[in-house]
């Protein structure tokens, strides 16, 4: 691949998001059905609110098993109760190598790709690896 490689060249534009009203039990079902590790939580205008991962859901389910909350309470919990509200975003025109450096310093598997404050995609560690592989060709 010639020229500077940008996040936008490898970002996923066809991706799944949760809306803030999605319940944790719905999240778990969707993660299992789609075979994904997590997803971005965004409102109807594309504003990113957080990132929800299977690990966050496991913690809440663990709370049920240990009696901290009831199964009925779990069913009422929105994804906003388990999402990570602190997250980092990436601009679509950021260089791929710069994005790789960010992934080295965060625990997330995916980062929201933003244009003018609006969610337009996501990039994962795997996308970065694919981009680096193309760069090396």
Residue 120 in this model has a pLDDT that exceeds 60: yes
For residue 11 the two structure tokens come to 């970002």
CATH class of the domain comprising 7-136: alpha beta
The pLDDT tens digits of the residues spanning 40-55 come to: 999 999 999 999 999 9
Tell me what percent of the residues of the chain surpass a pLDDT of 70: 97
Rounded to 5°, the CA angle 52-13-60 comes to 10
Helix or strand run (H / E) with residue 53: strand 48-53
Q: Are 28 and 57 in contact (CB under 8 A)?
A: yes
CA distance 82 to 19: 13
Q: Are strands 17-18 and 38-42 parallel, antiparallel or unpaired?
A: parallel
Domain boundaries, the chain: 7-136
Determine the pLDDT at residue 133. Answer: 82
pTM higher than the cut 0.85: yes
């Amino acid at each position: 691949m010639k020229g500077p490689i940008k996040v936008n060249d490898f970002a996923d534009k066809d991706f799944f998001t949760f809306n803030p009203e999605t319940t944790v039990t719905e999240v778990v079902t969707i993660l299992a059905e789609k075979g994904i590790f997590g997803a971005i939580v965004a409102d109807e205008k594309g504003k990113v609110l957080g990132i929800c991962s299977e690990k966050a859901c496991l913690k809440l389910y663990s709370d049920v098993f240990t009696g901290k909350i009831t199964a009925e309470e779990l069913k009422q919990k929105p994804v906003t109760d388990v999402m990570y509200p602190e997250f980092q975003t990436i601009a679509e025109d950021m260089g791929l190598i710069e994005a790789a450096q960010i992934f080295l310093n965060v625990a997330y598997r995916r980062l929201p790709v933003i244009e003018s404050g609006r969610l337009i995609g996501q990039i994962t560690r795997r996308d970065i690896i694919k981009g680096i592989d193309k760069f090396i060709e």
